[in-house]
Amino acid sequence: MSNEKIWLSSPHMGGKEQEFINEAFKQNWVAPLGPNVNGFEEDIKKYLFNDSSPSGGGREGDSGEVVALSSGTAALHLALIQLGVERGDEVLCQSMTFAASANPIVYLGAIPVFIDSEEETLNICPEELERAIEDRIAKGKKPKAIIAVHLYGTPYKVDEVNQVASTYGIPVIEDSAEALGSSYKGQKCGSFGEFSILSFNGNKIITTSGGGALVTKSQKAKERTIFLATQARDAAPYYQHSEIGYNYRLSNVSAGIGRGQMLVLDDRVAARRAMHEFYVDLFNDIEGVEVHSVPDNDYFSNHWLSVIRVNEKQTGGINREKLRLFLEENNIESRPLWKPMHMQPVFKDSPYYGKGVAEALFENGLCLPSGSNLSDKDRDRISRAVMECFKK
């Protein structure tokens, strides 16, 4: 019997990607920019703001523009720049996330201030967020921006976070890198922030092999983003620069992959959600393991990764790490949740506001194989390995 590795999340092509790439080669658009870049941006814009797919389109009156970039990290960097973040400024950031959410703060010489999660969505806790803002203001500095993340595809508490943000007049950068295809109260994730970012890295719900996008509120912000992403050239026949620029645009070849992937995005979301259902069933009878799900019907998750929490006291001694190692022996990849940023050596000096939720999640949380390309045979292997682990 074959025992090939079952991955946490691997690229899953739809079939049409090659056609868009061939088109680019035929027209010699093997350069940054080109028809695939424009087409890909249009596809995403349509998906976020006026789409009729199962997770709902944008709310009426909502609109935005999309700029395809070389990565989600680049998109965060350009969002922070456009919000005026400079050396010595403070930026509030969800602690339970991937380091890419926080690194661009440091690129600008600014200081990340990390915020704990709440239990329901595992994302930024609105109460701790407010406590942090009041305390930073009392200490003499009002934070410049809030980075909130839809972790593993589950929307953060959008209304509550926006309420706090607007009370203090601080803009929100929505890190939707893991949440393309998710929605909150019928509005797509990636459309909520003053700026929103998407990622098309190889492990995300759809991929361009590497890439990202910045979603802006206006055409003007879109143009500014493109200006910064293409080396900040002044309008002159020669190369003149009055500002520092970046080389952050997506290539026309990569965008071709993206166009092909957009055709199958809804299928990918359905498949990831089915994996989540599979785990709900699988762990239904296993005491001490909880499959993380959305709090209520306001939240629609793409379930990019399925997450469980293991309570050692109730499982009879099986903890997260024992399960992870057991799966590994069976050539099944699983991974602890993101190690919170305030626990990272590189961010040890950054302020943190919390009460232990993120630490506990890191301690007992595990991400399970969630790819849209997993087969019945893979699910069968996972199922048998899990049963065996908890039988002992």
Ligand X SMILES: *Cc1c(COP(=O)(O)O)cnc(C)c1O
Q: How far is the CB of 342 from ligand X (least distance, A)?
A: 16
Residue 77 or 381: the one with the smaller Cβ distance to ligand X is 77
Number of amino acids touching ligand X (CB under 6 A): 14
Nearest residue to ligand X, by Cβ distance, number only: 72
The SS3 call for residue 375 is coil
Of the residues 6, 66, 110, 149, which one makes contact with ligand X according to CB under 6 A: 149
Please, where are the H alpha helices in the chain? 17-26, 35-49, 72-82, 103-107, 126-138, 158-168, 219-229, 252-262, 265-283, 312-315, 320-329, 357-364, 376-391
Scan for tokens 């997993």, then name that residue: 374
CB-side exposure of 305: number of CA atoms within 13 Å? 25
Q: Give 7-41 as a DSSP string.
A: PSS-----S-HHHHHHHHHHTT--SBSSHHHHHHH
Scan for tokens 């080109």, then name that residue: 34
Of the residues 64, 212, 354, 371, which one makes contact with ligand X according to CB under 6 A: 212
Residue 113 or 289: the one with the smaller Cβ distance to ligand X is 113
Q: How far is the CB of 5 from ligand X (least distance, A)?
A: 21
Residue 251 or 315: the one with the smaller Cβ distance to ligand X is 251
Tokens of 72: 């989600």
DSSP letter assigned to residue 255: H
Tokens of 174: 């929505």
Residue 80 or 177: the one with the smaller Cβ distance to ligand X is 177
Of the residues 82, 95, 199, 207, which one makes contact with ligand X according to CB under 6 A: 199
Within residues 150-189, the interface with ligand X by CB under 6 A covers 175, 177-178
Q: Give 79-101 as a DSSP string.
A: HHHHTT--TT-EEEEESSS-GGG
Axis-axis angle for helices 252-262, 17-26 (nearest 10): 150
| 124 lies in the site for ligand X, by CB under 6 A | no
Residue 36 or 254: the one with the smaller Cβ distance to ligand X is 254
| 201 lies in the site for ligand X, by CB under 6 A | yes
Q: How far is the CB of 59 from ligand X (least distance, A)?
A: 24
Within residues 61-120, the interface with ligand X by CB under 6 A covers 71-73, 97-98, 100-101
Residue 208 or 315: the one with the smaller Cβ distance to ligand X is 208
Q: Which residues on neighbouring strands pair with residue 236, listed in sequence order?
A: none
Q: How far is the CB of 258 from ligand X (least distance, A)?
A: 12
Catalytically active residues are: 204
Within residues 235-274, the interface with ligand X by CB under 6 A covers none
Q: How far is the CB of 204 from ligand X (least distance, A)?
A: 6
Strands 111-115 and 90-94: parallel
The SS3 call for residue 123 is coil
Contact pattern for ligand X over residues 12 through 51, marking x by CB under 6 A? ----------------------------------------
Q: How far is the CB of 238 from ligand X (least distance, A)?
A: 33
Q: How far is the CB of 134 from ligand X (least distance, A)?
A: 26
| 305 lies in the site for ligand X, by CB under 6 A | no
d(CA 309, CA 230): 44
Residue 98 or 352: the one with the smaller Cβ distance to ligand X is 98
b/e per residue 107-135 (b: at least 16 CB within 10 A): ebebbbbbbbbbebbbbbbbebbbbbbee
Which residues are near ligand X by CB under 6 A? 71-73, 97-98, 100-101, 149, 175, 177-178, 199, 201, 212
